[in-house]
A and B are shown apart, each in its own frame.
Chain A
C-alpha cells in the first residue's frame, strides 16, 4: 500500500469519527501545550537569571577576601580584611595588557540620605574609577569620579537611577549636595557627612530583587577613610577579562599574583577567593536546567496520559473494524499494510494533536505575557521540534500495539466477526 493511500485512508477514518478523534487528540493537545508552556517558562527563568548575572557586567573575575572552604563557601567573608587597594593596583599593573578593566569595592552599609527635605535609605558602596567599564554601566547624567578624586578622598557621589529619582524626583541631581547620616551607637554622636552628586547611573531594571538601581557610589578611598574607617581594606576586587575565552586564564593569573603578594605558597591556604562569572553561570544554569526539566516532566506526564488515551481508542478502533481488516486481508492486504494503516492513523492523531498543542501552548505563553509581564517566557525552535517529535513518537509507541494486534488478525476470524 502506498503511503499516500494510507494517509488518505487514515485521515478519512479520523474525519468519520470526529468527536472521538477530537477527544482523543485532546489528551495530546493538552500534554504538548503543557510541555511547551512549562518549558517556555523554565527557559524564560533561565534566560532571566543569565541576563541578571550579566547585567552586573560580563566576563567578570571576582576576588573576595577570606579562605575558600572545602565546599567552596567563603569562610570569613566580608569581615576579613585581607584584600587591599594595593592588591588591586598590583593586579592592574601586572595584567595591564590582558584585562579590560579592574576595580575594587568596599561596601559601606546602608545610610540614611538627606537631600533638601527628602529622606531615603540606600546602600553605599565605595568603588574605583573603572567601575563603569567593569560593570558595563553608562551614566545617564554627569560624570564618574576620576583617579584624582580617589587620591584626594573626594566627597563626591554617583547615584543609582532609583535613588536619584527618589531624592530629586524629575529635578537635576548632578551638582546637588546630599548628606549621609548614620545614627551613632549609644553614647556616640550621630554622623553626618556631605557629598556632592557628580553623576547619575543609567537605569538597568531589576529582576528577582537583584537590581542595583538603588545605590550610592563613592570613591573607595573616601569610603575607607570617611565612612567605614577600614583603611585600605576592600570587600572585593572585580576584574573584567579581555574575553570570555580568557576568563579561566585571567582567574589563574590573578590568583598567582595575589598568592605571591600575600606570600602564601600553598594555594589551599589562600586568604582570598577568586571566582569567575562562568562558574557562577554554570552553577546557576544547573539550577535553572533542573527547574526546566521539572516543569517539562510535569507536562511530559500529561503527554503520557494522552498517549495512553490514544492506545485505548486505537484498541477500540481495531476491535470495531475487525471486519474491515478481514475484508482488506481477503483482497490482499499484507500484515505490513494493516500495521501501517493503523500506525499512520495513530500518528495522524498525535501529530495533529501535537500541532494544535503547540498553538495552544503558544497561546498560553501569550496570555502569561499579557497578564504577568514580569515572567519571561521563551519558546525556542528546539522546544517546538521536540514537542512535534515526541507527539509523533507517542503515536508510534502507543499506536504500535493496537496496530500489531490488527495486523495479526486471522482473515477468516476477522471476516466472521460481528
Chain B
C-alpha cells in the first residue's frame, strides 16, 4: 500500500444510551485503505460496522484514536470543518438512496456543489456524471419517476461530483433486485478500475465477493482482513442475465 487514503489507529467509540446501558461500538480499530482499493466491510449487526462507516465518512468523530484522511487528521475538527471534508473527500451512497424528492436528477447531482468545491460549469459536470452512470436520458426526472436502481445511480453520480478521495457506500444494494444490484456493482467496479477508492459496507457475501478486499468486523474490532483472490465481475453476471 504505497499511498494510503485512510489511516485509522486505535479508534474507539462508546455510546451512552442510558445510565446502565453503555455500548462499546468500536473497541480499537486499526485500518489502512490505500488509493484505488475496493474494500467491503462485513459483519453482523451490532458488530460496529455502521459506526465505523460513520467515522470513515466524517459524519461522526471517534472518542479516541486517530483518523487521517488524505493526509488530514480529522480529530478535533469542528462540525463545519467536518462538513467541508465530507464535501470534498467523501461521496456517500446510501441504502435508501437519500435523494431530495423535490429536485430532479440533475439538481440532486449538483447538490454537493452548493456547499463547496469548484462551482464552475455545475450543470455540465452534473450532466457528465449522470451520463457516466448511464442516465443521460433521465436528467430532468424526479426520484419518484425513477426505478430504485436508477435512483441509486443518481446517488452515485452525486457522490462522484466533487471528485472525492473515496466513495463510501452503505448497503448500496440492500433495497435493489438482483439485476439492479449487479448494475450498481458494475458501476463501482468500473470506477475502481479507473482508480477510485471504494469502501462498501454490506452483510451479503455475494455483494462483498465483487470487492478486492474484505474487512470483517466483530464486537467492535476487525476480526479478519483478507484479499479476495478472484473478485466476481458484475458485468459478466449482467451479460448472463435474461435481458430486462
Contact = CB atoms under 8 A, between A and B. Distances in A.
Interface of A: 1-2, 5, 12-13, 16, 323-324, 326-337, 411-412, 415
Interface string B109-152: 00110111001000000000000000000000000000000000
21 contacts: A2-B114, A5-B114, A12-B102, A13-B102, A323-B98, A324-B100, A327-B100, A328-B100, A329-B83, A330-B59, A330-B86, A331-B87, A331-B115, A333-B83, A333-B115, A334-B84, A335-B79, A335-B80, A411-B59, A412-B60, A415-B98
B38 interface: no
A330 B115 contact: no
B109 to A, nearest CB: 10
* Chain A binding surface, main DSSP class: helix
Contacts of A331: 86-87, 92, 111-112, 115, 158
Contacts of A326: 98
A332 B102 contact: no
Contact of A332 (B54, B100, B115): B115
A1 B86 contact: no
Interface of B: 54, 57, 59-60, 79-80, 83-84, 86-88, 92, 94, 98-100, 102, 111-112, 114-116, 119, 158, 162
A412 B80 CA distance: 15
Nearest to B51: A412
Nearest to A12: B102
Contacts of B83: 329, 332-335
Nearest to A326: B98
A178 to B, nearest CB: 83
A326 B112 CA distance: 13
A161 to B, nearest CB: 69
A226 B43 CA distance: 120
A323 B99 CA distance: 10
A195 B54 CA distance: 105
Given A327-B111, A329-B83, 14 more contacts: A5-B114, A16-B102, A323-B98, A330-B59, A330-B86, A330-B92, A332-B84, A333-B114, A334-B80, A334-B84, A337-B114, A337-B115, A412-B59, A415-B94
Contacts of A327: 98-100, 111
Given A1-B115, A12-B102, A327-B100, A332 B88 contact: yes
A1 B102 contact: no
A16 B101 CA distance: 11
A327 to B, nearest CB: 5
B223 to A, nearest CB: 24
Nearest 8 CB-CB pairs, A to B? A332-B87, A332-B115, A334-B80, A331-B112, A334-B83, A327-B98, A333-B115, A411-B59
